[in-house]
A and B are shown apart, each in its own frame.
Chain A
Amino acid sequence: MLTTSDACCSAAVQQSAFLRLRFDDRGNRRLMCGDDCSDGSAGMLELKEVSRRINGVDHLAGISMRIESGVMNVLLGPARAGKTSLMRAMAGLDRPGGGEIWFNGVNVTGVGVAKRNVAMVYQQFINYPGWTVRENIASPLKVKRTPAAEIESEVQRVAELLRLTPYLERKPLELSGGQQQRVAMARAIVKKAGLVLLDEPLANLDYKLREELRAELPKLFADSGAVVVYATTEPLEALLLGGMTATMSEGRVTQFGPSHQVYRVPADLITAETYSDPPLNVFSVTAAARPARFPGAATLAVRPHHVRLSPKSGEADAYAATVLSMETNGSETFVHLRVGDARWVMLTHGVHAFEVGAALTVHVESGDVMSFDSAGRALALSARAA
């Protein structure tokens, strides 16, 4: 058992060392290209202890992170976790109560949003209702006094990219939700901003459109050289977008790293809970009833798809469970269980029909179990956890 935990820890250490290296490397490259890195090759947004407190409530509690261009940076957290507050501070819409914000080596903490080079897309479809799609897209360029011919060609290019060309003369409110949001994104793209903030841009779209736009999104900003930040409440979306994920909870960034790493090796219980959909199965253990292979654990957790009907290997623990209810979506069945005092969700493939109240034995591979100490810090994780 000890060897497993050692292996896991060293993997985590290696990972963070790798990250540091990457940052250093990037920093060097920035130094090499001199003070003026405006060729759009690399962007870096750095937050130093950014905080914001309103009426005694911490909306942002000392957030420090370095966000780079070239990847999607996802802010993941439930509603009111501080994602929007953080984005507003990044954009310059709100001045942080404390801390500093640096962009490409310049302190922009007190600089107003109009003077920053930012673009923002909201959850609501925000366009100028009185203007045509063409005028909407051209708006940021017009403000910059771009020559008319250049505006025209840029608007054409971006409209083509977002498949808005047939609607250029329409008013935004005459378009569908997906098209309206694409207009908002076109405005963000056309501006060629150094920092692009996407605040749950797909949340108000229906399923189909959401999938479609989600697949397009990373490509749209991939070679813009912009630092792209994307806020979402959905763990699945964070995984699908890839890149980096910062999990947020109650105004704090609980963990920031490559999306899959944060998912696989959460640093603490809150991060693991934030980054789990359907909800994580959490159960507390006492010293007396603690399985020997989780020394020091106060809380164990297992993801719903790791709860199995039959053991996968010899290293599985069996738990007696009672079926509480079931939901099925056709290809998967969510079985709600009572295990001891805890309520669990088991995600199984296929359609299963269990009697409500039936007794079941479920199996959990020991490698799939995450363990946390009494403060919620992650203790050990098997490299096999996936």
Chain B
Amino acid sequence: MKQGRFAFVVPALYILFLMTPIYWLVAMSFKTNLEITTRFTLFPETFNLDNYVKVFTDERWRAVFSNSLIYVGLNTVISIAVALPAAYAFSRYRFFGDKHLFFWLLTNRMAPAAVFTLPFFQLYSAFGLFDTHIAVALAHCLFNVPLAVWILEGFMSGVPREIDETAYVDGHSFPSFFVKIFMPLIASGIGVAAFFCFMFSWVEYLIADSLARSAVLPITTRLQALSQASGTDWGVLAAAGSLTLIPGAIVIWFVRNYIAKGFALGRV
């Protein structure tokens, strides 16, 4: 069928629909509070960077950004490190209950995060982990490890088993094979899994908020906490909000070619 002249209209409308909130957030970050609260303007009247200056010069903003980056980074590293061997086992070996275990892993993600906040809070308090980076990082593993295992298993199963065997036949030991031959083969899978872990942990609010309250305040909590009875600095909030988009955008850039396969849990 010949493509109509107006074939672009529907996707264009859709993209407009998707981009409007993001545009609004970014536009708002360049407006003054007066403009935000009193007028409806499509473009900032004056292009002012005061909000960003405030965010970058405020010690507390810098702290929450680094806090979040630290526990998100920790979580991503732990999740991938744990999921790699697990996914390899699921992909290559048959063992008692493997299919059930594999499915059960995913059911972890079906429970709402709120269910786990109370047990996590009590558990981490008892171990003296409350209000630490590692507490949030470990808690997020509950959701991220299963996802990473599923994604990595899909990518690993795409690599013929004979490659493993050829490596052993050639005389490679398992660690040498895994690091030098196998991991490069599933590098895109590792990237995609890391991206999903990163994004979940970066935007997760509930658990991060309940496990890190003062010393390790996460960015999501601070964004939320800024709307107070005493008034809200909308401009600064928008600027900080815009900045939180950047890490995700950077990560997504690296895995952009594999992201669809990642959403299909590596099974394309």
Contacts and interface: CB of A to CB of B under 8 A. Distances in A.
Contact of A130 (B169, B171, B173, B184): B184
A129 interface: yes
Given A93-B165, A130-B185, A124 B160 contact: yes
Interface string B151-177: 000000000101101111111110010
A144 B171 CA distance: 8
A360 B176 CA distance: 67
A118 B173 CA distance: 15
A126 B166 contact: yes
A113 B169 contact: yes
Interface in A138-173: 139-140, 143-144
A128 interface: yes
A329 to B, nearest CB: 34
A119 B163 CA distance: 13
A45 interface: no
Contacts of B160: 124, 126
A273 B185 CA distance: 43
A122 B170 contact: no
Contact of B185 (A126, A129, A139, A140): A129
A187 B170 contact: yes
A113 B168 contact: yes
Contacts of B166: 120, 122, 126-128, 184, 187
A27 to B, nearest CB: 28
Interface of B is mostly: helix
Contacts of B176: 143
A50 interface: no
B49 interface: no
A114 interface: yes
Contacts of A91: 169
A144 B181 CA distance: 16
A83 interface: no
Contacts of B162: 122, 124, 126
A268 B226 CA distance: 88
Contacts of B184: 130
A52 interface: no
Which 3 residue pairs across A and B have the least CB separation, nearest first?
A143-B171, A140-B170, A126-B162
Given A113-B168, A140-B171, A187-B166, 8 more contacts: A114-B169, A118-B169, A120-B165, A120-B169, A122-B162, A128-B166, A143-B171, A143-B176
20 contacts: A93-B165, A93-B168, A112-B168, A113-B168, A113-B169, A114-B168, A114-B169, A114-B172, A114-B173, A120-B165, A124-B162, A126-B160, A127-B166, A128-B181, A129-B185, A139-B172, A140-B170, A140-B171, A143-B170, A143-B171
